[in-house]
Amino acid sequence: MSVRDKSVWILIVFILSGLVIGGLLGDLASSVNGLRMASLWTEFWA
């Protein structure tokens, strides 16, 4: 595996991790009235 291949896999892992963590934070923010805007994207996907 070359360095470029490893970089691509690391990028993919970071993007997927960010999506998962962002989704969890959005769910947590939905219960707080002031932070409801952070979870509006979930309404579009539901």
Residue extents of the structural domains in the chain: 3-45
Distance (Å, rounded) from C-alpha 40 to C-alpha 13?
25
**What pLDDT, on a 0 to 100 scale, did the predictor assign at position 26?**
74
Give the model's confidence band at 19: pLDDT under 50 very low, under 70 low, under 90 confident, else very high. Answer: confident
Average pLDDT across the chain, whole number: 78
Secondary structure letter of residue 40 according to DSSP: T
Residue scoring higher pLDDT (9 or 34): 9
Listed residue (28, 31, 29, 26) closest to 41, CA to CA: 26
pTM equals: 0.61
